[in-house]
Structure formats: C-alpha cells, structure tokens
Amino acid sequence: MKNKIFRGTPASPSIAIGKSFVYSPKQMVLSSMVEKKDITEELALFEKARNMALKQLRNLKVELKKASDPVSARLIDVQMLFLQDPLFLNSVEKRIRTGKESAEEAIVSFSESLEKDFKDIPNSYIAERYLDVKDIVERLLKNLKEEEPDGELGSHGDIVIAESFTASSVLQMSKAGVGGLIAEKGGRTSHFAILAEALNISAVVGANGVTEEVESGDEVIVDGISGVIVINPDEDTKRRFERKKEETNAIQKKFLEQKDLPATTIDGYSVDISANIELPIELPFIKKFGAKGVGLLRTEFLFLTSEDVPDEKEQYDFYLKVAESAYPDYVIMRTLDLGGDKVFKTKVQEENPFLGWRGVRFTLANEKIFEDQLRAMLKASAKGNVRILIPMVSQLEEIMRVKDMVEDIKIKLKKEDVAYDENIEIGAMVEIPSVPLMADFFSEVVDFFSIGTNDLTQYTLAVDRGNKNISSLFDQLDPSVIALMEMTVRKAHHKHKWVGICGDVAADVVAIPILIGMEMDELSLPPSFIPQIKNIIRGLSLKECKDLLEKAEKKRSASEVREFLKGEMLNRFPSLKNILVEVEND
C-alpha cells in the first residue's frame, strides 16, 4: 500500500527519507540457571562489570567530544554518575551480601524493583527515565556474560523503527550514519529524543502501531517537524518531501540566526518564550535556542532515582545549580508531582493513579517531604529569579494551605539567618477543569497560572493519549479545551495575574494565533522549537490573533479548529506549507 500515514510527536525537527530498518534489541533475561559463586566472587564480578561499563562509556564520551558533540557527552555523564551512585552500589551489594544473590540476579532484581517504581506514572516523561536505567542494566549484564553489544543497528541513511530506543543505541546508530528514528513509545523529553535532536537525526516519537505496519526495506519518510510518517511513498509524495527538506533547512537556519530577537507581534504585544527542562544538562539548549529562562523545571527525577526520599541539601544543590545557570532569567520550579507509592517505594498500587493520590494532594499529606522541598526552593531563590509552581491543584484550599506552609518556612529561615526571596511568587498548574471554572477565586490567592494542556485535555475529554484505541480523540485544540484556557486567562488578567502555558500546544504552530489572541503572557516549550515559534509570533498581530480566536471558538470540533487555523496560517506564512504539508493514504 502506497502512502500509508502515521502521525506521532515531532521530536527532532528535520526530515529524512530512506529504507526502513526495524530494530528489535535482544532482551537481556536472567539466566535460568545461575551458577552462584561465593559472596566475594560475586561482588568482584559486579565490580568488574561496572568498571568495564565505565570504561566503555568513557571511550564513547571521548568519541563524542572528538565529534564536537558536548550535549551527547553530558548525557553519557548521567549514566556514568549512576554507575558511581552509592545508592545504586549499596542496593546491588546488599542483595549479594544478604540475599545471597548472584551479581546477575542482584542487578536484575534491582532493575525490576526500579521498573515498578516507574510503572504507571501519569507523567509520561518520568516513566521514560526508566529507559536510561534499563540501558545501564543491559550494559552491565552483557559485560557479566561477556557478550558483544547488539549487532546491526541500521546502516547509513536508514530510518530505524522500534518500540523505543536507549541513549546508547542512538549513539551507536549515529556512528552508523542512520537518517531517522521512529519510536512507538516515548516523548520529546526522553533522553534518546534529546540525543536525536543534538545529533541532528530526524525523529518522531509516540507513533502508535507503526512497527506492526512496516517491514525492513520499506521506503519511509520521517518528518520530525510535523510528526508525519509516510510508509512506501509514491513519487509525487517523495518529491514534495524532498523539496520540503531543502526549503526547511534554509528556513530553520534563518530562524536560528534570529533566535535572540524578542517574541513581539507586529503591533507590539510581547510574550515570554521559555524552556521546559528536567536536568541541568539541558541548560545549554536554553541559550542555544534563545529561550527566556525556564518555564517548567520538573523535579520528580530526584525522587525516582533515590533509594530514600532526597533530603533538603540534595534538592537545594540541584535547584541552586539551575537557578544560577538561568540567572538573571527566571526559573519556574514545579513541586513534586508523584503518588505516594512512587515516593515511598511501596508495593501498593492505586487503581487509577491519574485520579489518585499525587501532586499537591500527596505533598500536603506528607508535610516533612513537602517542607524539605519548599525550604530547598526558597533557599535557592536568594537571587530573586525562582518561582514555585504547585501541580494537580483542584481546590482553593490546597493553594491556601501551601501558602501558609511557605510563610511558616520563611519565618524559620529568617530566624536561621538564611537568605531567600521574600517576594517569591507561587503559582498553580491548570490541569483540572475545576481551576479554570474557579479561576476568579484562585486569582485572589495565586501569583500566576501555568496551563498544563496535556493533562487539561486528558481530564476534560477523559482520553488517555497513550491508549492507541482512543488516542485519536486527544487534541489540545478541542473547543472545550480552548474555552477553558481562554476562561483562565480572562479571569486571571481581570485580577492582574499572569498566565503561561507549559504543555505541548505551546510548540504547535497552528495553535500560536489563538494563544496570542488569548493574550498569554508566556509560552514554555521544548528548546529546539523556540526559534520557529518566535519567528511566527513576530509575523502576527494581536488584533488578527483575537479575530482568529473568536472564529475558532465557534467551531464544533478539534478537526474543524485545526483545518481553519491551518488555512489561515498558510495564507499568512506561505513557507509553512513545508511544515503543514499533508499527504493522504492511497
């Protein structure tokens, strides 16, 4: 069948055309019969495998530095640090000493335990972090068994397709010169997507079902700009995408040259464009792509990678590093958005974690954990560029209790003669429809709002976008979601409070006019998409955006909204035909 279309999430904004290579990595399974040696020998085997892994990663880092790829080298640092983390080492060694497990059994049981911690987490980007641990575990197991790494990972120009990728597999594929990556799972924040972006490999993630419909050797187009995948394109489609590839390369070069220009409309309306990040290793992307600070710093990774709840100092060191790196621009730090089973590493599983004990619901019920995090954030705010964001808010009382806690902590810090920002701003995530509906009351107690359109869409439409049976119903431009966003901005501005967006819609080209029409104060998005979004904003006027918003609000479905906005954007920006190009199945 010609022109079979899949759509996913664009992760690395470039285009590649080539032969497909379906990648099925060999699964590392615990040997059915493990020959157990004595404890000393097993500890020595573990240490040998670990030292070998460190040597392999150091060699890979040297190669990356020779290739002038510092971002990828820093991601290797993350894996090397994990291999030297006392919590990891103590956990495996304890299993060998007290559980009398072999080195292989201890590593596998550690991995399985951690996998349970990551499983069923509503935040998809957090769940993706298990891939990094899995990558390290597989390297250790291969070293223990003295096995060679996976064989062929694709050849020059291939489009590699898999359920998911590890960071090390992407690096090896880069060395082989592959042209593109397509993953059924994962998101823009997964480390393999970050690597693909850094290595300039076209990538689309979240392409549900693609591995079932493609065979190695099929011709494939992967469009990391729009998220479109075409299997077995006809000649006309190939020519269109080849032309798109040439033209977009020139356009993106121009965008990057203008990255530091402000995001100001023709008639003078300005909006902050900031970056969503998770780790300090992503900070170079902020300056590289012209972001104004950090609009969303996720903090869950600290809790998921520790055997115990991270203490105040560990958190403070992390927050301070980010705040100092971003200074004088602001950093919006989101407090913990996990459930109790993940924080306490218990086996108790909630039946529906999406509607469960997570976010502010959990932290308010565990004041010591919450107080340590708030103290660490306040101490990191001394230079005045930190803001605190509270997730999973549904009731006014939750924010009022948080503010009371912050005031109590300020009093304690003052007595301890510890510096902090006395005027630190506290905001609420807009993820649950109750907040927009009550935004006039919330505006009396919060300093700002940040709209998480991913969750807001999920909770408004009752759609899990990870469920391929219903994922087609998930669209952040559904009229109901637009109405809730507009309601939030209108009510907040009436009380002189600012509103930002940190969901995927902020990087959606066709959505930009209506976000500007709502008079959003800030858009926070993946760094590599920032130059293009800023360029589009500079070509619009607030007046026309308001007109487009008014017309979009009268549409009856997300598809109608998208088609309308797509047509309007193509009229204003003919070059966007290269980004918004569509192709139909034969």
324: phi then psi, degrees, rounded to nearest 5:
-70, -35
Active site residue 502: yes
Residue with tokens 């070059």: 575
Q: Which of 156, 191, 494, 545 is catalytic?
A: 191
DSSP H helices, 445-497, are: 453-461, 479-494
> What separation in angstroms does the CA of 223 have from each of 48, 163, 201, 203?
43, 18, 11, 7
Give residue 152's Cα distance to chain centre: 29
**CB-based contact 253:237 (threshold 8 Å):** no
Cα(156)–Cα(174) distance, integer angstroms? 9
Q: How many other β-carbons are positioned within 10 Å of the β-carbon of residue 26? A: 11
Distance, CA of 221 to CA of 182 (rounded, Å):
10
**Which whole-number Å values give the CA distances from 140 to 46, 57, 102, 106, 399, in the listed order?**
8, 12, 13, 11, 45
C-alpha span between 248 and 201 (Å, rounded): 15
φ/ψ of residue 71, rounded to 5:
-65, -50
Which backbone phi and psi does 486 adopt, to 5 degrees?
-65, -40
Q: What are φ and ψ of residue 138, in 5° steps?
A: -65, -35
How many other C-beta atoms are found inside a 10 Å radius of the C-beta of residue 87? 13
Neighbours of 464 (CB within 10 A): 15
Which residue numbers are catalytic?
191, 502
